[in-house]
C-alpha cells in the first residue's frame, strides 16, 4: 500500500481516488485482521467522510445518507461513528463537533489536525511528544496523568492564504 499523503498534500491537488482507495484498503485489512465487521452502514458513513478532506457533523452525514436513499435515523449514524472512532478509523474534531476519516489508519497513534478556516479542509499529522509541554509539566506536578491530548490548529492553508 502507498504511504499516506503528507499533511500539506491534503491542501493541494492530488489523486483523491487513489487516496480514498488506499484508506479503504487499510481499513478493510485492519477489520479483517481484528475480526471486525465493516457493516454496510459503517462503510457508507466512512465513504461519506472520505468524499472530501472536510469534517462533517452527524446531521450532515444523516442528510447524505438520506440523499442516498438509505436509512437516516440518528442511531444509524451515531452507531457507525461510535464504531469508526472507537477503532481509530475516524477522528472527532472536537472544536467543530465534526468527524473526519483517518488519513493513515494503519499507523495513527497521536493525530494532530490542521484545520483551514478558508476551504474547511483538514490535514492530519502526528506528533510524538506533548503538544503543550507546560500543560504536561503542570499536570505532572499535580499528579495528574494525561490520557489523551487533542491537538487542533486552525488557520489558513497556503492556497487560501494566497487568495486573500
Range of the domain at 133: 7-162
pLDDT in tens, 33-79: 999 999 999 999 999 999 877 899 999 999 999 998 887 788 888 99
pLDDT in tens, 11-43: 566 677 887 888 899 999 999 999 999 999 999
Is residue 2 a part of any domain in this protein?
no
Is residue 59 a part of any domain in this protein?
yes
Is residue 108 a part of any domain in this protein?
yes
Is residue 54 a part of any domain in this protein?
yes
124, β-bridge pairs: 113
Is residue 1 a part of any domain in this protein?
no
Residue 104 has φ and ψ, to the nearest 5°, of -145, 75
Q: In CATH, what number is assigned to the domain containing residue 40?
A: 1.10.10.10
pTM, full prediction = 0.80
Amino acid at each position: 500500500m502507498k504511504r499516506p499523503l503528507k499533511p500539506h498534500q491534503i491542501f493541494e491537488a492530488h489523486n483523491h481516488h487513489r487516496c480514498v482507495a488506499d484508506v479503504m484498503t487499510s481499513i478493510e485489512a485492519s477489520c479483517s485482521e481484528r475480526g471486525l465487521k465493516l457493516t454496510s452502514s459503517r462503510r457508507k458513513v466512512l465513504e461519506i467522510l472520505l468524499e472530501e478532506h472536510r469534517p462533517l457533523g452527524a446531521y450532515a452525514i444523516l442528510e447524505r445518507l438520506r440523499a442516498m436513499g438509505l436509512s437516516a435515523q440518528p442511531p444509524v449514524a451515531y452507531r457507525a461513528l461510535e464504531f469508526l472512532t472507537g477503532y481509530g478509523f475516524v477522528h472527532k474534531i472536537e472544536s467543530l463537533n465534526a468527524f473526519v476519516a483517518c488519513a493513515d489508519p494503519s499507523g495513527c497513534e497521536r493525530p494532530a489536525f490542521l484545520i483551514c478556516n478558508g476551504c474547511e479542509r483538514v490535514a492530519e499529522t502526528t506528533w510524538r511528544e506533548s503538544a503543550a509541554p507546560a500543560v504536561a509539566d503542570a499536570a505532572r506536578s499535580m499528579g495528574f496523568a494525561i490520557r489523551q491530548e487533542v491537538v487542533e490548529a486552525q488557520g489558513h492553508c497556503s492556497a487560501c492564504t494566497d487568495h486573500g
